[in-house]
Amino acid sequence: MNQDVDLAGAVEPRTTIHAGTLGALERAMIGVNKLMMLFGMIALLVASFVLTYSVFSRYLFRAATDWQDEIAVFSIVGAVFLAGAWVQAQRGHIGIEAVASILPPSANRVRIVIVDALTLSFCAFFAWKSWTLFHEAWVDKMTTSSTFSPPLTIPYGLMALGMTLLVAQIALQLAAHFARSGKRS
């Protein structure tokens, strides 16, 4: 697959953007993915600064660090889940290259569709459960058990949003695959 590198150093595969509604959705998803990657980069920087501060404040100043761990964990959770759709757009998730290399191209296309459909089903279920967790935390005003006690809606909301974006990305990739298959026929 040919790839371009943008100014931030992110590798972006050259993909065909379709015409019409599918193309508009693909372009919108590219924009959303770039925005989520920006948030993810910021979240990882926040986590690294908070953890570094935590080490210095604990060992040099003997200060309490009850809030730092939760801020770092929430930041990392957000970065991981919000970046999931971007990673899927790059086809950067774990693939079974050994199997792909021995299959003929036609069988490999079928394998990709089956794997994407199963992944879509699992991720859709995970997104739905994440939204129910978010709703439950929101309604019950749930917080963590620490003295800092931030609301659990933060990590659950990040998880739900990230999984929803991942579902949208996989659905777009499946739709694009079927659109390409329809043009070949």
- Per-residue model confidence (pLDDT) at position 41: 96
CA–CA distance, 97 with 121 (Å, rounded to integer): 22
| DSSP single-letter state for residue 2 | -
pLDDT at residue 2 is higher than 50: no
Tell me the pLDDT band of 14, cut-offs 50, 70 and 90: very low
Q: What is the CA radius of gyration of the chain?
A: 20
CA–CA distance, 119 with 170 (Å, rounded to integer): 8
Residues 76-120 pLDDT 10s:
999 999 999 999 988 776 566 666 778 888 887 787 788 889 999
The position carrying tokens 């604990």 is 58
Q: Return the structure tokens found at 125.
A: 């279920």
Q: Measured in whole angstroms, how far is the alpha carbon of residue 36 from the centre of its chain?
A: 8
- Computed over every residue of the chain, the mean pLDDT equals 86
Q: Checking phi first, is residue 155 left (phi over 0); if not, alpha (psi -120 to 50) or beta?
A: alpha
- Per-residue model confidence (pLDDT) at position 185: 54
CA–CA distance, 80 with 31 (Å, rounded to integer): 18
| More confident of the two residues 119 and 184 | 119
CA–CA distance, 23 with 170 (Å, rounded to integer): 15
pTM given for the model: 0.82
Tell me the pLDDT band of 36, cut-offs 50, 70 and 90: very high
Residues 58-73 pLDDT 10s:
889 888 778 999 999 9
| More confident of the two residues 129 and 110 | 129
Tell me the pLDDT band of 168, cut-offs 50, 70 and 90: very high
pLDDT at residue 143 is higher than 90: yes
